[in-house]
A and B are shown apart, each in its own frame.
Chain A
Amino acid sequence: MRRILVVGASLAGIRAAEALRRHGFDGELTVAGTEPGVPYRRPALSKGYLLGTQSADQIGLSVDADLDLRTGTEAVRLDLGSRVVWLRPDDGSAVPHPFDGLVIATGAVARTLPGPPLPGVHTLRTLADAAALRSELQAAAQVVVAGGGLVGGEVAAAARVLGLDVTLVVPAPGPMAGVFGPAVARMLAELHQAHGTRLTPGAVARLEGDSRVRAVRLADGTVLPADLVVLGIGSRPATGWLYGTGLIQPGGRLRHAPNLAVADGITAAGDVIAAPGAGHWDNAIRQADTAARTLLDGQAAPAHDALTMFWTELYGTRLQVIGHPAPGAAARLAEGSLGERRCVVTYGDGDGAALLVNSPHRLSTYRRLLAAVPA
């Protein structure tokens, strides 16, 4: 294998390229990413960057490998037969890039509501999104955030910390009920309310406004006035450029083997293959290493370690999750108190996942406990 192309220059793509070098690949290595600037650490966008405590320079992602990094370069088509990816640099031309090996790490894009873009309505996925949102938060008065997931929750908290009037629209009984269960969802609802964020149960059906957003209308007819709206309603895999290749499943994720092989000489990492809700930092770096080894060693590489973690922070309360709670898994309070927001909740009879609330010192213990149980 002489020529490897990595499509996607965020965490998964960059780490996959580094892993290729680390595992001995010394051929031509190109990394192409759509975004214009240098790679950055995405988790900071909805935290320090939005609050203004961190600048764009301070959230850069280190690139520790000899590679040809092409930013502002979009992949527009994969031709499986001739093993070529068509790349479109920002000058608008289309350039065929032949490859022997390909890593697909194009990530995901934020979901939006149907209809034309309306000024004052934001999503948060890229640095450009965050810069636009950060700038508009300075002048906003009444913010409505739709969706109580990681992005929605963190944006609502940041806007509230900035002193704005914030309403979070999230189905009852509270944020992330589908992931963590009703008791944790109620705790998260109380946490938001304790810091002055209003919670309105429901889901956004429509945006109202002409030259700028004026209000959101919920499915039950409730109208919430707003001069700034943030949609945190999930993401979809950025795999549009692969339509027609037969590599995509319904919903947009890539079909892949446990060792992250997608096709002969093609592997994938990050949000293009992540299970819903599992597109996170730790997951991406572990998958990047597996995708690199599978590409170099064929079928020899082991499956990636599923016992990964993710985290979020709301008003100084830290939530860390080891593994991924299975849908509907029974939640059990293993230690501490939900009311005091310092506890550990386990899922699936202790062998599935654990949620640590303000208990980072218990991470190693629960990681060991969960790793010791055969999956």
Chain B
Amino acid sequence: MRITVDRNLCESTGMCTGLAPDLFELDEDGLIVLLNAEPGDELRSAAEQAVRNCPVAAIAVQHED
């Protein structure tokens, strides 16, 4: 699993930091910071939740199978 974020789309709602606090933070400007771009499977569900529920669709996940 590989996570990418688009800081140009980020609107600082902070949904991601609530759904997946191990993967995302907001910086001083309120923009998303990716803490771990290639997390293990134990964080897969949290990452997918964050992708689905970002109100501005600023997060994407690619699965390499």
Contact = CB atoms under 8 A, between A and B. Distances in A.
Interface of A: 15, 18, 41, 43-44, 62, 64, 281-282, 285, 308-309, 311, 313, 318, 320, 358, 360-361, 363-364, 367-368
A186 B53 CA distance: 33
Contact of A285 (B21, B30, B53, B56): B53
Interface residues of B, number: 19
> Looking at chain B's contact residues, is the secondary structure mostly helix, strand, loop, or mixed?
loop
Interface of B: 11-15, 17-18, 21, 25-30, 52-53, 55-57
B52 A320 contact: no
A44 B55 contact: yes
A311 B55 CA distance: 11
A62 B51 CA distance: 10
B57 A62 contact: yes
Given A43-B55, A44-B55, A62-B52, A318 B17 contact: no
Q: Which of B14, B25, B27 lies at the interface centre, i.e. has the most chain A CB atoms within 10 A of its CB?
A: B14
12 contacts: A15-B52, A15-B53, A41-B56, A281-B55, A282-B18, A285-B53, A311-B14, A361-B26, A361-B27, A361-B30, A364-B21, A368-B21
> Looking at chain A's contact residues, is the secondary structure mostly helix, strand, loop, or mixed?
helix
B55 A320 contact: no
Contacts of A360: 12, 14, 26, 30
Contacts of B52: 15, 18, 62, 64
B11 to A, nearest CB: 8
Given A360-B14, A367-B21, A41 B55 contact: yes
B30 A318 contact: yes
B17 A363 contact: yes
A361 to B, nearest CB: 5
Given A281-B15, A309-B18, A367-B21, A361 B28 contact: yes
